[in-house]
């Protein structure tokens, strides 16, 4: 399983006021002797999880099977056209269970109502690959905070004026310097971590508000998400 320690350290350092680690992709590790458990990072009181939502694919994650990802997402899905949990058994690291968007324009919208913990950080782990199946994929992530989308259209429309939107795109292409296009090397795959501090843009979500996350496949035929976290 890949190592989520980077994301956990980055998050915990931000709570303690220390400088977080610089952004970096997470390399795939197939070390069966690695007994560290990174599935439940705790930072504030050592008891409660700092996240209102999280899933991490893989044997050491919270979702080792597609059905586990589906169960995690089900309470929050309000729109889904083309995103399904699945395992790709064709080659190497790409076989890892994940949430896969298929087809240009595939869209997934998650709504977290009346949150019980503030959300100050958004983390996502995705597949990056040199494989022609994945490398053209590009996904847009949109996070809307500070709104009330749960109590009718009029309230939602009124709250939209004060809601705050943050968006970014992540490519699935892995660029490897000096990689030959032919030979015995084969395709390469890594897990890539991107973390966003919502407080930096004053876009954090307060208690009692709603958080909306929308993911859209804007290019390519496939994109795989290996982990997703909304945390304090």
pLDDT tens column, 76-114 = 999 999 999 998 765 555 557 899 999 999 999 999 999
- Contact of 56 with 4, CB cutoff 8 Å: yes
At 210, give phi and psi (nearest 5°). -105, 150
> Beta strand 51-56 with 98-102: parallel, antiparallel or unpaired?
unpaired
Round to whole Å and give the CA distance between 160 and 144: 9
Q: To 5 degrees, how large is the angle CA 90–CA 94–CA 95?
A: 60
SS3 state at 60: coil
pLDDT digits (tens, 9 = 90+) for 46-74: 456 789 999 998 777 788 889 999 999 99
Q: What pTM was estimated for this model as a whole?
A: 0.75
Residue 222 has pLDDT above 70, yes or no: yes
Secondary structure E strands in the chain: 51-56, 77-81, 83-86, 98-102, 107-112, 121-129, 138-147, 164-171, 189-197, 210-219, 222-231
Cα separation of the two ends of the chain: 25
- Residue 216 token pair: 């859209």
The DSSP letter of residue 62 is S
- Residue 29 token pair: 């590790």
Sheet holding 77-81, edge to edge: 77-81, 107-112, 210-219, 138-147, 164-171
pLDDT at 52: 93
What ranges in the chain are assigned the alpha helix state H? Answer: 5-16, 66-73, 153-160
């Amino acid at each position: 399983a890949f190592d989520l320690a980077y994301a956990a350290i980055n998050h915990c350092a931000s709570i303690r006021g220390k400088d977080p680690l610089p952004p970096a992709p997470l390399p795939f590790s197939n070390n069966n002797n690695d007994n560290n458990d990174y599935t439940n990072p705790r930072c504030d009181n050592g008891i409660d999880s700092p996240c209102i939502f999280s899933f991490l694919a893989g044997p050491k994650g919270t979702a080792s099977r597609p059905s586990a990802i589906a169960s995690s997402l089900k309470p929050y899905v309000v729109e889904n056209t083309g995103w399904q949990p699945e395992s790709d058994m064709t080659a190497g690291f790409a076989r890892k269970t994940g949430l896969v968007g298929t087809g240009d324009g595939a869209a997934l919208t998650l709504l977290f109502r009346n949150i019980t913990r503030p959300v100050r950080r958004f983390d996502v782990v995705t597949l990056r690959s040199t494989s022609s199946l994945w490398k053209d994929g590009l996904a847009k992530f949109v996070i809307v905070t500070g709104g009330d989308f749960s109590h009718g259209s009029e309230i939602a429309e009124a709250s939209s004026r004060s809601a705050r939107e943050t968006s970014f795109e992540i490519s699935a292409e892995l660029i490897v310097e000096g990689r030959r296009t032919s030979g015995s090397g084969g395709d390469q795959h890594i897990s890539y971590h991107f973390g966003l501090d919502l407080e930096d843009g004053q876009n954090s979500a307060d208690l009692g508000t709603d958080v909306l996350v929308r993911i859209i496949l804007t290019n390519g035929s496939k994109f795989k998400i290996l982990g997703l976290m909304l945390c304090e």
